Amino acid sequence: MSITVRAPAKINLHLGVGAPREDGFHPLTSVYQAVGVYDDLTLADADGWSVDLTVAGWMDRDHVPLAGDNIVDRAAALLAARHGLAVTGEVHIAKEIPVAGGMAGGSADAAAALVGLDRLWGANTSDDDLLALAAQLGSDVPFALVGGTALGTGRGEIVEPVPDHGTWWWVLVPSTNGMSTPEVYRHYDRLFPDAPAVPPMPEALLAALDAGDPHALAAALHNDLQPAALDLRPDLARLIDAGEAAGALRGVVTGSGPTCVFLCESADAARATAAELRASHDVVLVTTGAVAGAHPVAYG
């Protein structure tokens, strides 16, 4: 038997970051949206265990660790331990989500592996257990299971869907050089030593989502990590200016960067903005949100 599971990239519409907790993680108020850029994992029965990879033409596959160090290996070990099973299967990752791009591609793969291996092994894990395992794998992994548009609290792992009545058009500009999430958080701590214990709720942004109003959403987009990301990568500030000059309502860095996301008023506006940005940037994607979390798309 084989199963293909599709898992979406995320963007952060809001990322509020508090002062580091005792465990080193930062308390977050994050509004995630799953967008239509996907990694597909195909998982097949096998006696042993293997993970291999193909990547989109513009990506460098050497940036993704294999040989036991992939987050998919960790997902498999965790699920197998939960049920007392052996780790078996042949996994192929077809990657379209930028690596180390602030779009949670590794988290998407971990979520897809949990969903796929649970079916392959006939483990019948409950949704609550899958979410708990996901949280052990990374702060962004539970959202990759849930998808849609959701509020993330705690260190980002406590996820609750929020009302969203829009179809949002996004232009995404990834970068071939990724950024390290821990490094960006460390730089945030240096820049903002007086961050609050609990970051506030983004009320205006939640209202804009509920109303389905792109102008209100554009005005409310916010990322506390953006100053740190721009300090480390000054070229991103120029990219944001270029996207806004090309017709986007607003551009922001997503997560810890370096991918910049541009909210546009309509499909036509997104295509026009993308066409202009393509004159100076190799990879410019047009997509929509919100889309579903990790879900099976084919059985063999």
Ligand X SMILES: C[C@@](CO)(OP(=O)(O)O)[C@H](O)COP(=O)(O)OP(=O)(O)OC[C@H]1O[C@@H](n2ccc(N)nc2=O)[C@H](O)[C@@H]1O
Ligand Y SMILES: Nc1ncnc2c1ncn2[C@@H]1O[C@H](COP(=O)(O)OP(=O)(O)O)[C@@H](O)[C@H]1O
Q: What residues form the annotated binding site?
A: 98-108
The question of whether 10 is a catalytic residue gets the answer yes
Residue 231 token pair: 């300090």
Residue 65 interaction partner, one of ligand X, ligand Y, none, beta carbon < 5-8 Å per kind: ligand Y
DSSP category for residue 292: B
Counting contacts by CB under 6 A, is residue 102 touching ligand Y? yes
Counting contacts by CB under 6 A, is residue 181 touching ligand Y? yes
Counting contacts by CB under 6 A, is residue 255 touching ligand X? yes
The question of whether 194 is a catalytic residue gets the answer no
Counting contacts by CB under 6 A, is residue 178 touching ligand X? no
Angstrom distance (rounded) from CA 144 to CA 106: 10
Angstrom distance (rounded) from CA 294 to CA 208: 26
Residue 34 token pair: 């799953």
User: From the CB of 34, what's the least distance to ligand Y, in Å?
Assistant: 13
Size of the site for ligand X (CB under 6 A): 20
Give bridge partners of residue 149 from the DSSP assignment: 33
Which residue in 89, 148, 174, 178 binds ligand Y (CB under 6 A)?
Answer: 178
- The answer to whether residues 13 and 34 touch, using CB atoms and an 8 Å cutoff, is no
Task: Extract the annotated binding site for ATP.
Answer: 98-108
Residue 284 has a CB neighbour count (10 Å cut-off) of: 20
Counting contacts by CB under 6 A, is residue 214 touching ligand X? no
The DSSP secondary structure of 20-50, one letter per residue, reads --TTSPPPEEEEEEEEEEEEEEEEE--SSEE
Choose, from 39, 109, 118, 140, the residue flagged as catalytic: 140
Residues of this chain that bind ligand X (CB under 6 A): 12, 15, 25-26, 28, 30, 102-104, 107, 138-140, 155-156, 181-182, 185, 255-256
Q: Which residues are catalytic?
A: 10, 140
